[in-house]
Structure 1
Amino acid sequence: MTTGVRRRMGVEERRQQLIGVALELFSQRSPDDVSIDEIAAAAGISRPLVYHYFPGKLSLYEAALKRAADDLAGRFVEPQEGPLGARLLRVMRRFFDFVDEHGPGFAALMRGGPAVGSTATNALIDSVRQAAYEQILSHLGITEPPARLELVVRSWISLAESTALIWLDGRRIPRGELEAQLVRDFAALAAVSAAYDEEMGALVRVMLRDEPADGPFADLVGRLIALAS
């Protein structure tokens, strides 16, 4: 008869385990409501051992947030193939997958969690927004965006964040409808700017050129025309 012996984890392996456990707990409840004792119990170690790897819950929260931020930024990466509307829709589906998986933690981060206001936390949030911004520009084929385009893209990213937070509070609108609405919102923001700026007008014409008749951009155009008639 053999007796199972628990393998001792190395320092970095244990740190990564604790980050994963903390992220899972923070995804289920607000980080404010999760104690070090709970994290230790879920990891199968003692409370003092948690403090051996992290000086406190704030540092562990920031480490978990870094992992989540890297994950979220990666969800905006999309092959530059096919119509822009379809690409953005796939990005929004992955974005809401993340929101679904990490609801309480996502809400706590955006509304105010234990690490909000710290330099490290603000930098992580900004890094995700910047990654999303750069990805959208790459899909538009633009490296040096004009001021109006930068305003449109950054406003849209903020809109996606606030929409996700509102949706988490009751989920009263079907998720798929919101994903499609946000894609159309991007087109609408760009169209409003294009109506008063020729440079944006040229960009919107390119956006619509390869859009299929059943795509989200074309659908929006058709509905707006129907409303005006």
Structure 2
Amino acid sequence: MTPQARRDDLIAAALDLFGSRAPELVTVDDIVARAQVSRPLFYRYFPSLHELQVRALRTVTDGLVDGLAQLEKGPPDGRLRAAVRGLIDVADHYRAGYVALLRSGSVIATSETDAAIDEVRHRSVELILDALGVTEPSALQSLTLRCWTAVVEGALLSWLQERTVPREVLDGWLVDQLTAMLETTERHDRPAR
């Protein structure tokens, strides 16, 4: 196995374990048992458990950004629904890692993971503006989109933990919220322009 493949295997083992428990409860012994490697081999690729946790969580944010980058062409509503479905898919795939990333006060949060989350938020806003054909958003439009990304994060956290809403309803509900928020923003923005 190449060094990169071994690193990826250890990250995959960690993410798999995050699916059943919080990242801060996963130990080096758990990861090496799942990956079927020795502790010394683990430390050859990662100097600490914390570095592996951060790298694994970065994999989640990279997945979110990659999912957003592959928007289909077509009308804005369809593109937004596809983007939200992609976010839901990645968040669900990396459920515990996603929850750990966004949970306030997570013991594994770092400035690097915070920066990665901010990157996903920024990319989300850019893609929405692109889908809507807006090149120079007003201050209220920018504020609306940033607020909506917070709504999406909160909704996904609740959905991942409770599963009270069917997945096939979630994406449409979130996009409809954005539509309503943008319509309200437009009404308030007119006098300001």
Decide: shared fold, TM above 0.5. yes
Partner of 2:111: 119
Query: How much does 1:35 deviate?
Result: 1.1
Preserved contact between residue 137 and residue 143 of structure 1 (Cα < 8 Å)? yes
Preserved contact between residue 61 and residue 116 of structure 2 (Cα < 8 Å)? yes
Preserved contact between residue 78 and residue 87 of structure 1 (Cα < 8 Å)? no
Say whether 1:141 aligns with 2:133: yes
4+ aligned runs moved over 3 Å, structure 1: none
Paired with 1:108 and 1:150, the residues of 2 have a C-alpha distance of 27
Query: How much does 1:200 deviate?
Result: 9.3
Preserved contact between residue 148 and residue 200 of structure 1 (Cα < 8 Å)? no
Preserved contact between residue 67 and residue 87 of structure 2 (Cα < 8 Å)? yes
C-alpha RMSD over aligned residues: 2.0
Alignment of 1:155-166 (within 5 A): 155-166=147-158
Cα 1:79–1:73, aligned 2, differ >3 Å: closer, same or farther? closer
Which deviates further from its counterpart, 83-92 or 147-156?
Answer: 83-92
Paired with 1:46 and 1:200, the residues of 2 have a C-alpha distance of 63
Match of 1:84 among 59, 67, 76: 76
Cα 1:190–1:45, aligned 2, differ >3 Å: closer, same or farther? same
Structure 2 gaps of 5+ residues are none
Alignment of 1:1-229 (within 5 A): 9-79=1-71, 81-111=73-103, 112-116=105-109, 118-198=110-190
Higher helix share: 2
Query: How much does 1:121 deviate?
Result: 1.1
Cα 1:38–1:148, aligned 2, differ >3 Å: closer, same or farther? same
- What TM-score does the superposition give when structure 1 sets the normalisation length? 0.77
Cα 1:198–1:163, aligned 2, differ >3 Å: closer, same or farther? same
Structure 1 gaps of 5+ residues are 1-8, 202-229
Preserved contact between residue 65 and residue 120 of structure 2 (Cα < 8 Å)? yes
Preserved contact between residue 89 and residue 179 of structure 1 (Cα < 8 Å)? yes
Query: How much does 1:29 deviate?
Result: 2.0
Paired with 2:121 and 2:90, the residues of 1 have a C-alpha distance of 15
Query: How much does 1:141 deviate?
Result: 2.0
Larger Cα-atom Rg: 1
